[in-house]
Structure 1
Amino acid sequence: MRSAWGALLLVTMEGLAAEPPLRFSIADSWAMPVVQIERGRPTQGILHDMLASLATQVGRPAEFHVLARARVQAAMDHKEIDIRCYAAKSWLANQPGDYLWSVPLFVQRDLLVAREHLPITPKDLSPQPIGTVLSYTYPSLQPLFDSHQLLRDDARNQEQVLQKLWAGRYRYAVSNQWTLDWFNQTLPADQQLHGVAVLQEQAVGCIIRNDPALPVQRVLRTLLRMKMSGEIDDLIGLYTGRRPTEDPSLSYETP
């Protein structure tokens, strides 16, 4: 009997091993709570946990590829990865190839952040450096960069930008709401950083190569189910301390 169960387990394991992995991109500029990267591998975070759950529900192993943000789309175009998440259509308006988008999964809210809690309009700032992430684009601030009213001070990732702001390297920086909330969790109330202006808000989701070798529709249906069931919002609440309210501007129609 024991040998029969052993043979069945071996067959099951061999069947799972035969399934090719879903290859996900992880941008090395991301920081917690989006993802934690240790020794070149993601270990935790909203995106890590979401993608690991997605792969499990689809029935494929998950394979993570940590890449420089500027290389992610080229890796997709060359079929080195299958799925890119935490992306917006406006970022990839002219991408070549055949891709399909998931439903919107998150709302990215970009903020101008400062140590003092004084609301401000970016165009009213005096000429000065501002904390940014290398290779990131900031459409609402680009005219100010072009005119040299504001000067980019690039760091490798979002966490480093906020660390430099907190240390007084500059007076203002750009951060998404999640990273700011995560960063402030470790600080006393009187030392926390503050959002002083909303720069932009946009829906982000996942894009998958439309390849017959991939379970494309199964991936898209699973992401829809994870969003509508509350699983994704629960992950956000777990890492940021607050579960987002549903945004009526996001459409959850079946792909």
Structure 2
Amino acid sequence: MQTSLKKRISLSLLLGATLCLLLSSLPARATEKLLRFSIPPRGNPPYLIVHKEGLPTGIIWDILSRVAKQQGYRLVPVKTPRKRVDQSMRFGQLDATARAMEWTPDPEQFIFSEPMFKARDVIFSPIQRPLQFSSPKDLIGKKLRAQLGYHYPKLAPYFNTHQILRMDDMDSYQQLRKLLLAPYRFDGAIVNEWVGRWLIRRHQWQGYFAISKQDVGDVDYRLMFNKKWLSFVDAFNRELTKMKKNGQLQEIVQSYQ
């Protein structure tokens, strides 16, 4: 009887200690600092790359996750269709996304970081017929593959008057693939420079394309935050400046090219 009683007391003490440990861990988890970051469901390589398992990677993810960790936040990816991002951020369901001010209908409703880098649209052309130009006028009479739904302000007057012929594709992969399959049917494709370089590396298309030195448009790529994140944006800008000066930013970019 005494041995049985001791066993029950020991078991009760063990269970009590275990419960205390579990309860003590709950407040830490409940107060964990999260930064909910919007990413496109299919990603946007090489800026944001979605994997079947694990966390995303990519230029922007690597930059933000490094700063978030320094500031004590856990970066949480939230797959969100583009049309729902702004509303979700206004309602506090998302905290941040990657965006250029020029792509935002009401930029004053949000806080933007300093520019991380320039996003340049350039022309990829068949290596057999490299296309270089100094101004849009040099492209008159050319046939260019573009991306459906994208607006190119510098070329718009020439597209609208059919001085430059535009053929649309769903994405950059299709643009380059069609150019590769029919190098003499089209003169070039308008593609984001880093996206095009990433696709060439991924699909082993080295040696098939020439890339124009001149761009047809560029924007400052930033992070866009809900307004309550002002202090974090200030910290992000400070760290971004350091990363530009010490070469860390360039290292991240080059790892995806």
Indicate the TM-score class for this superposition, using the shorter chain for normalisation: 0.7 to 0.9
* 2:43 corresponds to 1:27: no
Aligned partners of 1:151 and 1:103: how far apart in 2?
A: 36
The 3 A distance-change label for structure 1 pair 127 and 66 is farther
Aligned partners of 2:251 and 2:54: how far apart in 1?
A: 23
* 2:139 corresponds to 1:157: no
Out of 87, 98, 117, which is 2:130 matched to? 117
Question: Aligned-pair distance for 1:112?
Answer: 1.9
Look at both structures and tell me which one has the larger radius of gyration over its CA atoms. Answer: 2
Other-structure match for 1:145: 159
* 2:187 corresponds to 1:171: yes
- Equivalence map 1:227-246=2 (5 Å): 227-229=241-243, 230-240=247-257
Deviation string for 1:146-203 (max 9, x for gaps)? 2233454333333332223222274321112212222333546532342264112332
Question: Aligned-pair distance for 1:225?
Answer: 0.8
Aligned partners of 2:23 and 2:130: how far apart in 1?
A: 60
Other-structure match for 1:52: 65
Q: Is the partner of 1:34 in helix, strand or coil?
A: coil
The 3 A distance-change label for structure 1 pair 81 and 109 is same
Q: Is the partner of 1:190 in helix, strand or coil?
A: coil
When the two structures are aligned, how many residues end up with a matched partner? 234
Query: What is the Cα-based RMSD across aligned positions, in Å?
Result: 3.5
Out of 207, 219, 225, which is 1:208 matched to? 225
Q: Is the 8 A contact 1:28 1:157 kept in 2?
A: no
Q: Is the partner of 1:23 in helix, strand or coil?
A: strand
TM-score, length basis structure 1: 0.73
Indicate the percent of aligned positions where both proteins have the same amino acid.
26
Q: Is the partner of 1:154 in helix, strand or coil?
A: strand
Q: Letter of the 1:36 partner, please give it.
A: I
Aligned partners of 2:55 and 2:90: how far apart in 1?
A: 22
Which one has a larger percent helix, Structure 1 or Structure 2? 2
Question: Aligned-pair distance for 1:118?
Answer: 3.0
Q: Is the partner of 1:145 in helix, strand or coil?
A: helix
* 2:107 corresponds to 1:91: no
Q: Letter of the 2:57 partner, please give it.
A: Q
Q: Is the partner of 1:54 in helix, strand or coil?
A: helix
Out of 80, 105, 115, which is 1:67 matched to? 80
Q: Letter of the 1:159 partner, please give it.
A: Y
Q: Letter of the 2:150 partner, please give it.
A: Y
Aligned partners of 2:215 and 2:162: how far apart in 1?
A: 21
Segments of structure 1 that go 5 or more residues without pairing to the other structure are 241-255
Q: Is the partner of 2:56 in helix, strand or coil?
A: strand
Aligned partners of 1:204 and 1:90: how far apart in 2?
A: 10
Question: Aligned-pair distance for 1:46?
Answer: 0.8
- Equivalence map 1:103-114=2 (5 Å): 103-114=114-125
Segments of structure 2 that go 5 or more residues without pairing to the other structure are 1-15
